[in-house]
Amino acid sequence: MKANGLKRAALCVALGACLGVVAPAAMAQDGSVAGRLLSEPGQQLDGATVTVRNPATGFVRSVRADANGSYRIPLLPVGTYDLEVAVAGGAPARVGQVNVTLGNATTVNVPVSGVNTLGAVQVRAPQVVNMVDVRSTESATNITREELSRLPVDRDITAVALLAPGAVKGKGSLGGQGISFGGSSVAENTVYVNGLNVTDFYNRVGFSSVPFGFYQEFQVKTGGYSVEFGRSTGGVINAVTRSGTNEFQTGAQLVVEPRAWQSQARDRYDRNGSRYITASQDDYSRSALNVFASGALVQDKLFFFGMYEARDYQPNSTNDAGTVFNRGSADDPFWGGKLDWQITDNQMLSLFGFSDKSDTITDVYRYDYATGDIVGDRTNQIYNTVGGKNWSGTYSWQVNNDLTMKLMYGENKRNRSQSSLMDQNCNRVFDNRTASQGVPTGLQGDRSCTSSSQVESALDTRKAARADFEWALGDHLLRFGLDREENTSDYERSYPGPGGLRYDIYYRTPGSSLNGGTVPASGLVARTRRYEVAGSFETINSAYYIEDNWQVTPNLLLNIGARVEGFDNKGGDGDSYIKIDNMFAPRLGFSWDVRGDGTTKVFGNLGRYFLPVANVINIKQAGGFLDERTWYEFLGYSGGGNNIPVLGGQIGPVDNSQGDGSVPDLRAEVNRDMDPVYQDEAILGFQHMLSESWSVGASVTYRRLNNAIDDMNITATGQCGEVDSVWIMGNPGRTNTVWGDTDCDGSNDGWINIDTAREGWALYDDDGNYVGQRGWVKPKRDYKALELQVDRAWDGKWGFNASYTLAYGKGNAEGPVNSDTDFADSGRTENFDNPWVNYRGYGYLANDRRHQFKFRGSYALTENLTVAATLGIQSGSPITRFGAGNPFDATDFHSYFVCVSNCQSSVPSERVFVHSPRAGDGRTPWTYDLDMSIAYKVPVPLDISLKLAVYNVLNQQRIVSVDQDYEPQDSIGTPNPLYGYGTGFQSPRYAQLTVTWNY
């Protein structure tokens, strides 16, 4: 071979083997290697084989190239492999090292003329691993364990996912560890660990997780993902854990976050100087010590990895008034392990399991803020349990050169319980009156003698099975499979205290109408509420998919696929409550290698994605759910330490319209022809490699949510006019079919259609006469974004990544949960309870962040000393002035109208309202989050390293959410004195020390 030819061969291998050009997506928890053998004219490739060899495990897999030199080696565990090529008549030649990453396929194009001539010559490429994925149509970010060890990234999946461009941290009050991807709500994402779906299916706002030391690599999919993935209209977080090798290894890691290394949170004061949030005593200490061992039980065949982590977490907090002090403790350990059996070169079996169960016990005391002292003995003790045991087994088999298969079965369990010592004797009591309504400062708000908002016991169990196949047919790679999940919630919930009652105290205008009765002369009223449910509730989610990755030309790839899904949510009686079949989700993508050398790519995709109905809907809408509300005159408190209100005469009837404790005829309460929640997405992007180290990219994304499933209060029908109030689960703004009254005789006797775009809500004049009906606006959500990114790959000295996202998220519905009003029951928001809640409510949504900058980088000062930093800068979220009434009827609920005159009038038409547009009161401030770290590898024979990370170095504690209820519910014309004040803030500065020892 000529010298120039040899240089070209080396460059080709360098670009392919080390720059990791990604081919069609690999099965979720594996990677693959693919490419072409580049021959000279007339050279025969018959009999050519390509082999990958993992020196750490002895794993070997070979395939034959086809007549055109194309090859693909699928189902490769994440790791580093040696690549060899043998051409008929020549000895195998080692081409170089290939990094196989999670969910990707590394492309290596090999000049076989050089291999054949030079025999066993080895071509080694540079260490740089920057990529332009010329054969992928996904938008995804891969982050390895090694990269995270250099960066100041907190030790949870959420912190990792937030490194991806465009990802936004959700509102903490919604629960879980929420992230908004592409304008979605926090309840629309899916999380996988080793192929097992560990997403919370009860409310979809959390997930099971394992310690950082157990993970090997993460992949964050922000859009355009393959038909292999579904049940998400947000993003997908895909993670794989560590495995053993032939080399026995052991080690330990200590992570500490002492209280002394935390800055004090700031108390918050209103315009009058009164403290409304007490946060200065909120802190914690956290420590974790894990030990691991890994190695081979049988050389080159059977490997293990095991970890045990002792944990200690001790949080302290006060209530907002500064009168209660909570001292918590959680010390349950984590354990987990993985077994990998290489049965043959073509067959593997993996078993994986872990327990993340954690019990937190919190002691409750009275507290004197002025002196900073705990007063007296413990008044209560609260018990919270989360997590459970999880496991999966995965079998993979390369049947022949063209066909592979993978089978998986696993179980994911999450316990959820909350109770306290005082639950039996103490009710929840909340005084909603203001100081101007006769309540002394300090006696407003929570008057309970228990800290439990509810008594809850639940176990969520997912049984998941799936089968995936790949079949190579010339220029086509067919991928197909099916999966099924049985998700069961065993659930029990009630309010604490005698009778399971919650008491709310209000002031209302004397003589005004309330619940069909009249407010007494004192204006003091109390509402009791029983809110309970118990039972076992099941949902079955199933899907099958097929996809063709068609290499139309050497430079053009088409990805054509479809996924068909079905959701079957069952009620407390075991019968189907919401059942939706044959949801067809097409996906179409392309990738064009513009120059044909793997350095410049134009790509795009179109797709449809469906979201399942959370189990909370089965429980609260179809589970013998009791929601009983009764109004009384309030005569004062009983005293005796429990503050139970003294009740006078009852006002109006008992309202159990939202649940009377029995499983009703669900045909009357759920749309028979329910349309699913789905989203359409379009992405167009560009990537270009500037050099072996630097690359740039740009993309535009458009997402549109096309439907919603939510509860609606039906008070009229097109057939009969006004009817008795009934709550249905249906599609707002569409035709809903329910079992109802067809001949207007007062009894349900057949199926009726309610076009909720124009009917379903009864209207009345000032004298209470029925005058017609009104429909609902259709749910809308649109997301438009431009993403720019530049990357400088880590080369042993330094690395850098920067991204900018310009985004617009608009609509009248955030999604299954509502950040604006802290409504966290997924799929049961108040947005569509009646037509006026969302009327004229289109505008910028809660997760809209116009500008977002993200930077991360690391630099090796010496061989043993590395510094790193991450910086996140984002503009604020919209602020809306929510009212409680509307200009059209007497409904008292969230709305986009504020009363400005005659607000207490009992005649609806006399009240004067002005429209309050979404985002009409500006935005929260920009936030800046700077994290820094320094890592030092101790120069001793033992492998010991130290890492000190400081988070929120600037100690920014800016507002990230505010109270948006200008007129709280039941308070038309009475402005909330805390409207616009902060309710959520950046966490104070804290530091974390990690000491790692490996042997």
CA-closest candidate to residue 890, choices 966, 829, 836: 836
Alpha-carbon distance of 128 to 694, in angstroms, equals 10
Q: What angle do CA 3, 8, 11 make, to 5 degrees?
A: 125
Q: What is the pLDDT of residue 598?
A: 79
Q: Is 422 helix (H, G, I), strand (E, B) or coil?
A: helix
β-bridge mates for residue 716, sequence order: 722
Q: What is the pLDDT of residue 128?
A: 33
Q: What is the pLDDT of residue 176?
A: 61
CB-CB contact of 712 with 777 (8 Å): no
CA-closest candidate to residue 244, choices 288, 212, 214, 218: 214
Q: How far is CA 710 from CA 22, 440, 452, 671, 676, in A?
A: 40, 40, 28, 11, 11
CB-CB contact of 575 with 665 (8 Å): no
User: Residue length, the chain?
Assistant: 999
Q: Tell me the two tokens of residue 854.
A: 């993200």
What's the helix, strand, coil split of the chain in %, to 5?
A: 5, 55, 40
Alpha-carbon distance of 108 to 110, in angstroms, equals 6
CB-CB contact of 9 with 88 (8 Å): no
Report DSSP letters for 727-786, one per residue.
Answer: EEEE-TTSEEEEEE-SSSSSS--EEEEEETTT-SEEEE-TTS-EEEEE-PPPP-EEEEEE
pTM: 0.90
CA atoms within 13 A on the CB side of 603: 29
CB-CB contact of 395 with 66 (8 Å): no
Q: Which amino acid makes up residue 543? A: A
Q: What is the pLDDT of residue 891?
A: 86
Q: What is the pLDDT of residue 129?
A: 35
Q: What is the pLDDT of residue 367?
A: 95
Q: What is the pLDDT of residue 451?
A: 74
Torsion angle of the four alpha carbons 32, 33, 34, 36, in this order, in degrees rounded to the nearest 10: -170
Q: What is the pLDDT of residue 461?
A: 97
Q: β-pairing, 403-420 with 445-446? A: unpaired
Q: What is the pLDDT of residue 70?
A: 81
Q: Which amino acid makes up residue 829? A: T
Residue recorded with tokens 């069909």: 516
CB-CB contact of 96 with 68 (8 Å): no
Q: What is the pLDDT of residue 89?
A: 64
Alpha-carbon distance of 956 to 990, in angstroms, equals 11
Q: How far is CA 986 from CA 265, 355, 703, 807, 957, in A?
A: 9, 31, 29, 22, 5
Q: Is 8 helix (H, G, I), strand (E, B) or coil?
A: helix
Q: Which amino acid makes up residue 749? A: D
CA-closest candidate to residue 685, choices 801, 559, 592: 592
Q: What angle do CA 62, 66, 69 make, to 5 degrees?
A: 90
CA-closest candidate to residue 232, choices 203, 194, 196, 191: 191
Q: How far is CA 480 from CA 30, 253, 469, 763, in A?
A: 16, 41, 5, 53
Report DSSP letters for 620-672, one per residue.
Answer: HHHS--EEEEEEEEEEEE--TTS-PEEEEEEEEEEE-TT-BSS---GGGTB-T
Q: Which residue intervals of 502-614 are DSSP H helices?
A: none
CA-closest candidate to residue 86, choices 51, 123, 130: 51
Helix (H) and strand (E) counts in the chain? 5, 61
Average pLDDT per 10 consecutive residues for the chain, totaling 999 residues: 38 38 54 78 74 91 84 88 81 83 79 55 35 76 90 91 93 77 94 94 90 91 92 94 95 96 96 93 96 96 97 95 94 96 94 96 94 92 94 95 94 92 88 77 74 87 97 92 96 91 90 89 93 91 96 93 96 89 96 87 96 90 86 87 87 88 86 96 94 92 95 94 92 96 90 96 91 95 97 93 97 92 86 94 96 97 96 97 92 91 86 95 97 94 92 97 88 88 95 95
Tell me which H or E stretch contains 363: strand 358-368
Q: What is the pLDDT of residue 117?
A: 46
Q: What is the pLDDT of residue 12?
A: 42
